[in-house]
Amino acid sequence: MIHIGLTGWGDHPSLYNEKTAANKKLLDYSQHFPIVELDSTFYAIQSEKMMRKWTDETPADFQFIVKAYQGITGHQRGKIPYDSEEEMFSLFKLSMSAFVEAGKLAMVLVQFPPWFDCQKENVERIRFVHEQLQPLPIAVEFRHQSWYSPAYREKTLEFLRGLNIIHGVCDEPQVGDGSVPLVPVATDSKVLLRLHGRNYNGWVNTTGDSKAWRKVRYLYDYNEAELEGLRKVVQTLEQQAQDVYIIFNNNSGQHAAKNAKQFANLFNIEYGQPLTKQLDLFEEDH
């Protein structure tokens, strides 16, 4: 089965009525797409109360792809605001309990940083993270090209397969070691395809301003030919996995929702319609 969604739900104005309150956007989003990538969990471990709120606000068959906390992935380079890694993992897993109980956790996305290259120490780190997060389903996304070098590509995929780790397949600009090629291989009954856009010039930060850079890094609008090429990639993944999860992350220019709807149409998948006109029917005339 194909599941299509976006990164986050708050920054896609085309999906909402102009009067939609911020605390109602998740509900509105869930009328358009069956999955969402939850990124706030990367910056801070969310409270169980907040996770339960999001669980209650979504339909029974809605699913979350939860981005692992940055202390887990090593983005903080070992500096974590907890007494121990054991405490960090315990709190993160506790925060997942509402999603797990409701059957709404598609997977935990463990996205390693660009400097996390293919070496023995990092292979062992993946084993450790996998062990600590059990029994949660986890996906791994690499950001360093070495994992897919001719010497290591098959070993990398076999390693993920042996641990029943979901392969995070990426579409992104090819700009050297800090990017990975599109490798359409599933290593589990689920596979994750994240579409970051192809903004070659914006992918690498040459300004030194991280905030400005992040605003343009994912500035990309997939054209019809590119979406058709990605459709073939998904068809390849469908032959290997039961469930293909697709996340559009190209939203610096708010193209993600449009592209996701276009992509769904290529598979004759019809998700919900925009709510604006429906809600306007019940507005009072003034």
Q: What is the pLDDT of residues 53-77, one digit of tens each?
A: 999 999 999 999 999 999 999 998 7
Residue 154: pLDDT band by 50, 70, 90 thresholds? very high
- Weakest-pLDDT range from 27-31, 219-223, 263-267, 271-275: 271-275
Neighbours of 103 (CB within 10 A): 12
Q: Which two tokens stand for residue 164?
A: 């029943």
Neighbours of 67 (CB within 10 A): 23
Is the pLDDT assigned to residue 3 strictly greater than 80?
yes
The pLDDT tens digits of the residues spanning 189-215 come to 999 999 999 999 888 876 777 777 777
Note whether 106 and 245 are within 8 A (CB).
yes
Q: Report how far residue 263's alpha carbon sits from residue 96's, in angstroms, rounded to the nearest whole number.
A: 30
Q: Report how far residue 110's alpha carbon sits from residue 10's, in angstroms, rounded to the nearest whole number.
A: 22
The pLDDT tens digits of the residues spanning 231-258 come to 999 999 999 999 999 999 999 999 999 9
Query: Which residues on adjacent β-strands are paired with residue 138?
Result: 108
What is the pLDDT at residue 277?
34
Least Cα distance to 184 among 224, 249, 125, 229 occurs for 229
Q: Which two tokens stand for residue 67?
A: 């981005």
CA angle 233–7–77, rounded 5-degree value: 100
Residue 216: pLDDT band by 50, 70, 90 thresholds? confident
Q: Report how far residue 78's alpha carbon sits from residue 284's, in angstroms, rounded to the nearest whole number.
A: 56
Task: Please tell me the class of the 2-280 domain.
Answer: alpha beta
Q: What share of the chain is helix, strand, coil (3-state, %, to 5)?
A: 40, 15, 45
Give the pTM.
0.92
Residue whose token pair is 């102009």:
18
What is the pLDDT at residue 281?
35
Q: Which residue has the higher pLDDT, 276 or 226?
A: 226
Percent with pLDDT over 70 in the chain = 94
